[in-house]
Chain A
Amino acid sequence: MARLTLAEKILGRAAGVAEVAAGEFVVADIDLAMIHDIFAARVFDLVLDSGAPGLADPEAVVVVIDHLVPAPTPEAADLHRRIREHVAALDVGTFYDAGEGICHQLLPERGHVRPGMLVVGTDSHMTTHGALAAAATGIGTSDMVYALATGRLWFQVPETIRFELSGTLSPGVVWKDVILALAGRFGSDVAQYRAIEFAGPAVKETDMASRLTVSNMAVEIGAKFGLFDADEVTEAYLRERGIEATGPLAADPDASYEAVHDVFLSDLDPQVALPNEVDRVAPVGDVAGQPIEQAFIGSCTNGRLEDLEAAAAILEGKRVAPGVRLLVAPASRRVLQEASARGILDTLIAAGASVLPSGCGPCFGGHGGLLGAGERAIGTHNRNFVGRMGSAQAEIYLASPATVAASAIAGRIADPRSMEGAGG
């Protein structure tokens, strides 16, 4: 009788093999492939050069222009023009042009991802979609060319580590704090080559926005997949997108894990990742008072409506400290529209925020909100490596939207629980 992890179930199904076990190599059918604007033109050039007649399954392909939005240079504009030409010529199933949003927001928001899918994309944060019980992972340009031309790709079935999460988050503490705490406690390569299952009583009530944040950062601790079970929360999220019951999906109860870590969450404080590693993490109290020049709320990690709402709750009726630039990048046009309709945007703008396009610009050090030498920033994004947001002499701290908003008001890193509006 099969005793399978989620990763083994999904890869076995996609490979058409009755049962696979960790360590085995399989060649599996790709259910969904995403390419963004940094790589799309080159990927399609190489597909055509390979001699392949076209895309093996155009309907399973999503192309998103999100990294260079709006085009910061003539070269970027030219790149985008070439992508649009390829998309038309190759009959790409879905194309989101500049301004529609960040790929990891659009894939779930527009109903592309379903439980049990095998999903690849040319971006490391593909692990995000594990929030919907999809085995989703990043690949490079060449692997994507192979996947698009043949519809298949090789995988080594990963070992799985399971986080059994229990307890209740205190007011002012959110799931961004949980994933930062896990990175701090277990280190940046605890899940190298491995799948993670986020499980336990604490995840049952967790909303999809929080799950997406946690799965997004699974890659920061090395993971190939960052999986949640498909449950009632998943089903409700899919139903809102017109996708009818896909049923529950979970590991077998007696599945075999490389490690199971029990983590109790009730005593957790808001967390901050310190320069220059995601796993250098401390409770916010340890670094409170550090002056900042920039505060960033956005990215595929924390640019969703719930994140903007949490920031607005702190910023309501307040002003950003003199000398601090508060940048807000809603993760998609829909998030922007909804934040506008609910008055969230007004609150943020009145507090002194500059609203950026829905894209990835500052987060990957591309453009629009970069840091100079000697500057210090705190952001809701996922990486604080040297040079990540511009100068290699800048310092980046990572935290929740509430902590970033509180810090923007204080002009220095601040505990959101010290402010009104930090309801959690």
Chain B
Amino acid sequence: MARLEIDDVTKEYRSGESSVVAVQDIAVEVPDGDFLVLVGPSGCGKSTTLRMIAGLEEITEGEIRLGGRTINDVSAQERDIAMVFQSYALYPHKTVRSNMSFGLEESTELSDSAIAETVEETAAMMGIEDLLDRKPGELSGGQQQRVALGRAIVRDPDVFLMDEPLSNLDAKLRAEMRTELQHLQEQLDVTTVYVTHDQTEAMTMGDRIAVLDEGELQQVGTPLECYHEPNNLFVASFIGEPSMNFFDGTLENDALVTDYFEYPLSQESRRDLESGGDLVLGIRPEDARIGDAQQSDRRFEAEVLVVEPMGNENIIHLQFDGMAVDDEFVVTTEGVPNVSAGDRVGVEFPEPAIHLFDGAGGDAIKNRDLSFTGTPDAVLP
């Protein structure tokens, strides 16, 4: 158990004259027992960050501290960590049992019988006790995944590091393992850093999410913070599936004028804004409404391109007149779809649900209003 601090860490790959900065000044703290998800598109530096924590990459600048101790110069063998790899990296020639016991044999002074006992206990917890004498090659993807997790858990480390551990599983199994992994982490209460490019995993699993892009930290926060109160355009577009819709425009008097519509902004929304400034209007697909009866000046006519029925919801692709051929926006609706391709419909963007971003820098200017139901006094956690 330990608190993990990543303090202004930079990683630079130098080869001769040129150098590539993979990670720039990242600072995140993971409290003891917390589940942090590092998320971002490929090449954003999330794996490099994880590998620096593991001791598989050297740190160019900054410090990583584990339980208060600086571990920059501690070798991977000496750090008390366990890692689950995307490819599982199970030793193919060893049985599941010896795969799991290897780490204990190498890193602890435990007796053989104590090791055997720990392995069996962990295997029972992971539901792989029947597989102990098989080799990895004989196991299914899901079983291998469990063994890889078991191998990490059995060592009872200070920190778990996980590098896209679910990406090789099929969709059903992934959803299942997601809940299970989350449950397991809560039970074990071990500090965990989890790397993924999948925003669904980030949203559903993490206590907190750190969003990275091009080696720089964009935002650290709870999943709902990142979803409802993104710091900038990147976070807003990366988190959420289908993505938030964006419309470029300029503020003219009391309205946001885009190529397709004029959106009247209330006094409150445009309080801090200068007339003539470039803005981006953002709205999540589930917040836009299609075809309500009442008239509104925040409703605009669009054409339905494609309707994707998912059963529980429908993803509707639409286009405003004058949009480029491959440009579109997306609205999700519930229940049985009541529009079809080719229909012309009215789409309303309710003002409490819109986000406004600075057109130049992409920083968030106004995030949506929030009102939660359910749990009494629900606020953004």
State yes or no: do A and B come from one complex: no
